[in-house]
Amino acid sequence: MRVIFLEDVTTLARAGDVKNVKDGYARNYLIPKKLAEAATRENMKKIERLKQTGDERRMRETQRWEELASSLEGTNISVSARITPAGQYYGAIPPTQLAQELTTATGREIDRKLIDTVQPIREPGEHEIVLNLAPGIQATILVTAEAQE
């Protein structure tokens, strides 16, 4: 059955794509969940109009993420936590604390899920943290970790 995807379906198709799928998959999963609809002429015309507005919306979103990345690039925040006698933190500085400090410093709401902590901050000093804002759009910030008294 040929279907038009209304939403992005991971590993299968993006919104607006027309693909052949098994009849049962379309009838029992895609169509009831409003992820796709049958590829009729009327639906094809409707989707073509939606695709144009969707492309414009994606471009605006990408531009907004790029502006945010340029404003965040090089931002310096400082965080503090208690340390052990060995000079390390008890645990690590969590991404939620980094997101709160970043939100306070920039005045923009930053979600903790955007913070890529490949190596957690476990000791005082300066650390570079990467923010994955969107696919292909990243910003690097500098975090100064201090010992709490």
List the structure tokens of 11.
Answer: 């590993």
Query: Residue 101: which of 119, 126, 76, 83 has the closest Cα?
Result: 76
Question: Above pLDDT 70, what percent of the chain?
Answer: 99
pLDDT of the residue at 24: 95
- Mean pLDDT score across all residues of the chain: 87
The confidence band for 2, taking pLDDT boundaries of 50, 70 and 90, is very high
Task: Give me the mean pLDDT over the 113-131 stretch.
Answer: 86
Q: Which domains does the chain have, with CATH numbers?
A: 2-60 (3.40.5.10), 70-147 (3.10.430.100)
pTM above 0.75, yes or no: no
What interhelical angle do 95-106 and 41-72 show, nearest 10?
80
Tokens describing residue 103: 């939100």
